[in-house]
Amino acid sequence: MTQITPTVDFDQDGKQVGWLKVPHSVTRSAYGVLPVPIAVIRNGDGPKLMLSAGNHGDEYEGQVVLTRMIQNLEARDITGTLLILPALNLPAALGTTRVSPLDAGNLNRAFPGDPNGGPTWKIADYVENSLMPRVDVVADFHGGGASLDYRPHASTHYGPDASDDHKKKSLDLVTKLGVPHVMIFERQNKTEGLPDGAIRQGVISIGGEYGGMGSVSRAGVQLVQTAVDRLLAGLGIKGELPENLPEPQILRIGGDAHVYAPEPGVFEPATELGDSVRAGDLCGHVWFPENPSREPVSVPFNGDGDVVCKRHPGRVEAGDCVAHLASPWQA
Ligand SMILES: [Zn+2]
């Protein structure tokens, strides 16, 4: 079994910028490795936080903020330990794709991973079993990807067995990040995401979607930067939280939140991000330009809530998610 080897020492004080060397032996490169970037910034004992982006390669706001952070932050600025991974699924980040072009792996569906699997599964295994046990909190920044556009939100995730203390700490942290909308995910029967790995490891999981459409949202970059600054302050790693923080709106995604295209065509949306809708309201029409005498098919919403996510490309196949809702969360 060929394992991932880090070029950094996790117990050493100071700032190190190095790589996780993921074995990848191919015709072009018999003894090759994929160098997944990692920074370790440590100043003595204290709180421990892992920050990641590029879990999905086509989601960029977190990649920008974490890369800038590695350049600007020094060990003397902090207390405790930061692990920063700005391009977690490196092949996908370089390929501008959601999934890895090397093994078709969707990293956020590959947990708990496999040390003998393809590169994506090796990375998942290393994150869950070698990195997460070193930290108290993991924050993984997403951005919708090429196929979706999001109204930005921060999120936290916990499993059905989470203690009240774990839930309270998760909620306290995520509601102080300066993101006006917060999503709570109570994970049931899910195993394969990075947050599920965090749940298994007893680590507080913070996430969120900060943009979309495969672009770099300026507002999203600012929100991720604020969220990172507040995470460092809230955990006692660097700085102080501002006083009198406004309460965000807390939301959940219900079982009837997602809307799917019923057949191939061009989807014309009937709503904008942030619109409030009821079950039965029109989500959009599928048109058939290749058969222009055919009437469009109406696609309704199945539940009540706010439109927080919309599909970006116009052309759809049957089964493409065209929108999803979120509704107020009740504990
Ligand atoms: Zn994502």
What confidence tens digit (pLDDT) does each residue in 242-288 have? 999 899 999 999 999 999 999 999 999 999 999 999 999 999 999 99
Please tell me the distance between residue 243's alpha carbon and the centre of ligand 1 in angstroms: 31
Compute the distance between CA of residue 100 and CA of residue 26 in angstroms, rounded to an integer.
15
| Average pLDDT rounded to a whole number, residues 107-116 | 97
Please say if the pLDDT value at position 219 is more than 60: yes
**Quick one: fold of 5-252?**
Aminopeptidase (3.40.630)
Domain with CATH 3.40.630.10 in the chain: 5-252
Please tell me the distance between residue 145's alpha carbon and the centre of ligand 1 in angstroms: 6
Give the Cβ contact number of residue 14 at 10 Å.
Answer: 12
Please say if the pLDDT value at position 190 is more than 90: no
pLDDT band at 321 (very low <50, low <70, confident <90, very high): very high
| Average pLDDT rounded to a whole number, residues 121-141 | 98
The token duo for 268 is 């014309």
Give the Cβ contact number of residue 255 at 10 Å.
Answer: 7
Please say if the pLDDT value at position 114 is more than 60: yes
Please say if the pLDDT value at position 91 is more than 80: yes
- Per-residue confidence (pLDDT) for residue 331, from 0 to 100: 63
Please tell me the distance between residue 49's alpha carbon and the centre of ligand 1 in angstroms: 20
pLDDT band at 1 (very low <50, low <70, confident <90, very high): low
Please tell me the distance between residue 244's alpha carbon and the centre of ligand 1 in angstroms: 31
| Average pLDDT rounded to a whole number, residues 215-233 | 98
Residues 6+ positions from 267 with CB-CB distance below 8 Å: 261, 284, 285, 286, 287, 299, 311, 314, 315, 316, 320, 322
Please tell me the distance between residue 56's alpha carbon and the centre of ligand 1 in angstroms: 5
The distance from CA 157 to its chain's CA centroid, rounded to whole angstroms, is 11
Handedness of CA 191, 192, 195, 201 (dihedral sign): positive
State if pTM tops 0.75.
yes
Please tell me the distance between residue 150's alpha carbon and the centre of ligand 1 in angstroms: 11
- Per-residue confidence (pLDDT) for residue 189, from 0 to 100: 75
What integer best gives the mean pLDDT of the chain?
97
Please tell me the distance between residue 144's alpha carbon and the centre of ligand 1 in angstroms: 5
| Average pLDDT rounded to a whole number, residues 141-152 | 97
Compute the distance between CA of residue 49 and CA of residue 82 in angstroms, rounded to an integer.
5
| Average pLDDT rounded to a whole number, residues 212-220 | 96
Report the CATH number of the 258-328 domain: 2.40.50.100
Say if CB 134 and CB 10 are below 8 A apart.
yes
Compute the distance between CA of residue 214 and CA of residue 208 in angstroms, rounded to an integer.
16
The distance from CA 232 to its chain's CA centroid, rounded to whole angstroms, is 18
Tens-place pLDDT, residues 25-72: 999 999 999 999 999 999 999 999 999 999 999 999 999 999 999 999
Say if CB 19 and CB 6 are below 8 A apart.
yes
Compute the distance between CA of residue 269 and CA of residue 140 in angstroms, rounded to an integer.
30
Residues with Cβ–ion distance below 5 A, ligand 1: 56, 59, 142
- Provide the percentage of residues in the chain whose pLDDT is more than 70: 99
Domain with CATH 2.40.50.100 in the chain: 258-328
